[in-house]
Chains A and B, each alone.
Chain A
Amino acid sequence: KQEVTQIPAALSVPEGENLVLNCSFTDSAIYNLQWFRQDPGKGLTSLLLIQSSQREQTSGRLNASLDKSSGRSTLYIAASQPGDSATYLCAGRDDKIIFGKGTRLHILP
């Protein structure tokens, strides 16, 4: 059974800092791993999708990596901004999509 864990559960950093969010999964037989952003009271916005054959994906200030052998993915956010404050969720994909509980990020102005 796939289990996805995100550490830390919450994180506060000053504006401008670079930061890393962690995601681990128990079953390496995934098709892909997807990172989402969720603002309070809103739905999920897809940020990055990494296929199982890929090592990383980049979009603007975001970079996501995937290491299937160790069961880990990271989301790197460069030069953080107050607008980045949100909950970030990772999800591992086989025939189902299994989510971690998220990291609640707060960027301090």
Chain B
Amino acid sequence: NAGVTQTPKFQVLKTGQSMTLQCAQDMNHNSMYWYRQDPGMGLRLIYYSASEGTTDKGEVPNGYNVSRLNKREFSLRLESAAPSQTSVYFCASSPQLNTEAFFGQGTRLTVV
């Protein structure tokens, strides 16, 4: 049971570099989410996709872009990384809007 898989697990970037965080789920879920978790701030929603073909901004979308590539995959892109984007990033999915959400194991990103 793979569930929600995030790659990579760890990444170090230099300021100004770009990268894409990958997320894939094998549960045929409609909705997918990207969060960042910072000490003292809890989990904050970056972007979400209620269904394939749609994406919407969350609480902290600035500096990020997303792509819902297909029903399985939802990627998060940092075009020009900044030290303020140092965080742990979590991807989640759920079958529908009113059902249980499942989380990946996270990507720990450091921007130097």
Which A residues fall within an 8 A CB radius of B? 31-32, 34, 36, 42-44, 46, 49, 51-52, 89, 91, 93-102
Contact = CB atoms under 8 A, between A and B. Distances in A.
Given A42-B106, A96-B45, 4 more contacts: A94-B97, A95-B48, A95-B56, A99-B42
A18 B56 CA distance: 41
A102 B90 contact: no
Nearest to A30: B98
Interface of B: 33, 35, 40-45, 48, 50, 56, 58-59, 90, 92, 97-106
A102 B42 contact: yes
23 contacts: A31-B97, A31-B98, A34-B100, A43-B103, A43-B104, A43-B105, A44-B90, A46-B101, A46-B102, A49-B99, A51-B98, A91-B101, A93-B97, A93-B101, A94-B97, A96-B45, A97-B48, A97-B101, A99-B43, A99-B44, A100-B42, A101-B42, A102-B42
A34 B105 CA distance: 18
Contacts of A43: 90, 103-106
B104 A46 contact: no
B101 A42 contact: no
A95 B45 contact: no
Contact of B58 (A31, A51, A91, A96): A96
A44 B100 contact: no
A108 B97 CA distance: 38
Nearest to B43: A99
Contact of B45 (A49, A52, A98): A98
Contacts of A51: 98
Contacts of A91: 43, 101
B97 A101 contact: no
Contacts of B50: 95
A58 B43 CA distance: 25
A100 B42 CA distance: 7
